[in-house]
Structure 1
Amino acid sequence: MALGSTIRMPTISPPPSKRRKLSGSRNPPEVPLADSITVYSYNVNGIQPFLQRSITSFFGMDGDSSRHEDAPKASLRDLLRRHDWPTMLFLQEIKVSNSDEASKRAIERAVSVSSSSIEIEPSYVAHLCLPSDNFNARGFGGKLYGVCSIIRKDVSDEIVDRVRLVDWDREGRFMVIETKSTEHRPRLAFINAYMVNGTDRPYRGTPSGEVTGTRHDRKLQVHRLLAAECRDLEAKGFGVILAGDMNVARSALDGYPKLRMFPPQHSLNRADFEAKFFSDTGTSEAEQDRSPTIDTRHTDDSSHPGLGMIDTFRFLHPSKKAYTYYPRGKPFGESCDRVDMIIISASLRDNLVEAGMHETPGDRGPSDHVPLFARVTFNSTLAKQATNEVP
């Protein structure tokens, strides 16, 4: 597409010539299923198109007249099939209201298969976290926010210990999946996250509904609360895998044509995110300079160091420019950011073997984001083989 001589297109991976076969989501027969785990994350910007029958009419938007024969179809089963039946698929911004029982049932039907077909294609189970906040999640009839965690049923039956929500979120943004340990694999905690987008709009505290700050304040509070959740899980012996839309781009490498710096609060939010999750110090200048008026009980972690977690994509691709968010209304690639991430505990560093994203108009589909993935393995032989395959 012609963007004009003043705009430099970022490097975008070409559309696939045939359906991708991603290594890692299937295992050799001699390797226990749960010893290799592939996690996909995808902000779908509304799950309804993925509950329809397999069609491709959603693709090729924004003046992009190309329609690739291999373009993924807008259905959950087609999405899972295209990516070779991943262990887990975390969806954000599904936009389902808490009272919409029909959509809940449709999601369950979309990911499962009949017992007669289970030998051909795996069945999945879906867990939902939907908004219940009467003050901050009332727009669009409650059809906003929300996350869905889709887990292969055989894996769920084998390793999942419990699935839970967090008591500090009522906007439908966070879900925790805790697993059992095995001889080769520690207990793992997967967190499906749809982080707050910082704005100057008011945030109303519960249960009173009184304005207690802005959405920027709430974003900083959520950073503290989530960091405390991760810290508590690690203290209990869990390796944490945090996946989702973080609503922040980490550095200049992660924004095109440039990193968002205005209004200045975005830079402060970015610094706070870095300090909480990636540094060893914990408290950023942003947090030191701000005194949010919102309730910060149980969130004061100023005495704790940063979590020192690992951004899987950036760890394996330290200088690669690649993006997950492509806003609608602009030609694909003209403006984009890497705001979706899969982040793991430092203890899982040696288990990480693959991370990437699928950054084509077809991969974006009806959303304004593209899917990303990471794979960890806990079998030493398999890990060595997989690491040798990473480019």
Structure 2
Amino acid sequence: MSAQKSIQERAISPPGSRKRKRPISEPHGQSLKVYSWNVNGIGPFLQPSVASYFKAAGSSGDAGQSAGKASLRDFLRRRGWPTLLFVQEVKINPDDAATIRGMEKAVKRQPDEPDDAADYESHFCFPSDKHNARGFGRKVYGVCSIIRTDFRKRYIDRIRQVDWDTEGRFLVIETRANAGIPKLALINVYAVNGTDNPYKDPTSGEVIGTRHDRKLRVHELLQAEIRQLEADGFGGTIVAGDVNIARTPLDGHPNLRTFPKQHCINRADFEARFLADPSLQAQPPSASRPEQTSEEEPDGEDAPSNSTASKPASLGMVDTFRSLHPTQRSYTYYPRTKPFGESCDRVDLILISRSLQSNLKAAGMHETVQERGPSDHVPLYAELEFGLEQEEEEAGSNR
């Protein structure tokens, strides 16, 4: 489970007379590298240096190791200044202005850094649900999209929340078509974890189901959101984050969770809505017919029991890691209560529209104790390239 080396992006310079591969901010051959990481609380990551983090991480077999400290800025540097870093479970009280400012500062370019060091911006979605997101002093859930400033200025039209979630789980980036990159929607996702705990109406506080019910409902709403983006002319969607679903036996170690049965139902619903090949999909499995599912989820999830037997056709999205590594056993969730690698699951995914599959060049995760750091998840990434065909044609005509 070796991590693929990150691709360093070159500094911006005026275009020369000969065609060459350029970084994201130049017209052709752009690389869009997206990272995702469930950090399980942003506090330990707001550090100026990562030295103590590596020192504290200890050996990979120590289940009781110190959580250590980490640095978002150092992570971005080590990974070659990726275009975007989506983080989930930031666990910031929405009224905690000091921590919000601290996170914004933690990803900014510093005066003493080299000229080619990238600058970043932080954009947040916090929970506002007063009935389902009140625990731990309101330090629950929450996502943050960390965006390279040059990319934001050149490509992004708007950054928004969705109107069907108040738990701080989704943040949508909408881009405009520009310099070889189509109009894209990039969605930072922290999916509901399905359990038998009650789910309350966000307005009245009345119990209206379980967290499993809510998970299934969120699947339905996210699918509809992506359908609407397609109808609005977006050329592709990228969904990245913790989906709280392990898809197949390859994605769970030592095995895939199959009990209680509701996890199998949640998994089948996710597969039917987002990943099944629409051309082969006669009738999606019903959430009321668990015998049609073959797997369960590792980290527990929510699914709406009011799901109907008839669902819209699958989006037919592509699991970036599994597309490039069809048989590889790799994982993103490593609980801190057990030795590293003893029990783990691939519950964090980066999905792309099938229209973007030809642009996919790399995908993976960094599966080490050091890269997990204070979290219980490791970071994962996908890289897409755009405009290369046009660039190669132009290069050939200039020879």
Q: Which moved more, 1:301-310 or 1:146-155?
A: 301-310
2:332 and 2:344 in contact (8 A); partners too: yes
Task: Find out whether 1:326 has 2:323 as its counterpart.
Answer: no
1:56 CA drift (Å): 3.9
Alignment partner of 1:80: what SS?
helix
Q: 1:337 to 1:161 in 2, by over 3 A?
A: same
Partner of residue 126 from structure 1, selected from 108, 122, 128: 122
Paired residues for 1:8-87 under 5 Å: 12-13=1-2, 21-23=5-7, 25-26=9-10, 30=20, 31=22, 33-34=24-25, 35-59=30-54, 60-61=56-57, 64=60, 74-87=70-83
Task: Find out whether 1:275 has 2:266 as its counterpart.
Answer: no
Paired residues for 1:99-118 under 5 Å: 99-114=95-110, 117=113
Deviations 1:118-169 (A, max 9, x none): 7241110000001111000010001010101000001111101100000011
1:327 and 1:336 in contact (8 A); partners too: yes
Q: Distance in 2 between matches of 1:162 and 1:36?
A: 21
Q: Distance in 1 between matches of 2:70 and 2:309?
A: 42
Paired residues for 1:202-221 under 5 Å: 202-221=198-217
Q: Distance in 2 between matches of 1:81 and 1:268?
A: 41
Partner of 1:340: 348
Partner of 2:260: 263
Q: 1:32 to 1:223 in 2, by over 3 A?
A: same
Partner of 2:381: 373
Alignment partner of 1:287: what SS?
coil
1:27 and 1:36 in contact (8 A); partners too: no
Segments of structure 1 that go 5 or more residues without pairing to the other structure are 1-11, 15-19, 67-71, 385-391
Amino acid in structure 2 at the alignment position of 1:92: Q
Q: 1:32 to 1:265 in 2, by over 3 A?
A: same
Q: Distance in 1 between matches of 2:82 and 2:381?
A: 9
Alignment partner of 2:152: what SS?
helix
2:127 and 2:166 in contact (8 A); partners too: yes
Alignment partner of 1:328: what SS?
coil
1:26 CA drift (Å): 4.5
Q: Distance in 1 between matches of 2:285 and 2:340?
A: 35
Task: Find out whether 1:152 has 2:160 as its counterpart.
Answer: no
Pairwise CA RMSD = 2.6
Q: Distance in 1 between matches of 2:282 and 2:215?
A: 16
Task: Find out whether 1:186 has 2:177 as its counterpart.
Answer: no
Partner of residue 354 from structure 1, selected from 358, 362, 370: 362
1:379 CA drift (Å): 1.8
Paired residues for 1:284-299 under 5 Å: 284-289=284-289, 292=304
Amino acid in structure 1 at the alignment position of 2:125: C
Segments of structure 2 that go 5 or more residues without pairing to the other structure are 14-19, 63-67, 291-302, 393-399
Q: Distance in 1 between matches of 2:215 and 2:161?
A: 18
Deviations 1:301-350 (A, max 9, x none): 94521000000000000000100000011110000000001000011011
1:231 CA drift (Å): 1.2
1:284 CA drift (Å): 3.9
Partner of residue 165 from structure 1, selected from 149, 161, 165: 161
Q: Distance in 1 between matches of 2:157 and 2:139?
A: 30
Deviations 1:66-87 (A, max 9, x none): 9xxxxx9711100101111000
1:62 and 1:328 in contact (8 A); partners too: no
> Matched residues, percent identical?
55
Deviations 1:78-128 (A, max 9, x none): 010111100000000110011111111101111112567572411100000
Q: 1:61 to 1:174 in 2, by over 3 A?
A: same
Partner of residue 320 from structure 2, selected from 312, 315, 324: 312
When normalised by structure 2's length, the TM-score is: 0.84
Amino acid in structure 1 at the alignment position of 2:46: L
Alignment partner of 1:103: what SS?
helix
Alignment partner of 2:287: what SS?
helix
Q: Distance in 2 between matches of 1:301 and 1:103?
A: 45
Task: Find out whether 1:246 has 2:230 as its counterpart.
Answer: no
Amino acid in structure 2 at the alignment position of 1:36: S
What is the count of residue pairs matched by the alignment? 359
Partner of 1:8: none
Amino acid in structure 1 at the alignment position of 2:40: N
2:272 and 2:314 in contact (8 A); partners too: yes
Q: Distance in 1 between matches of 2:163 and 2:114?
A: 36
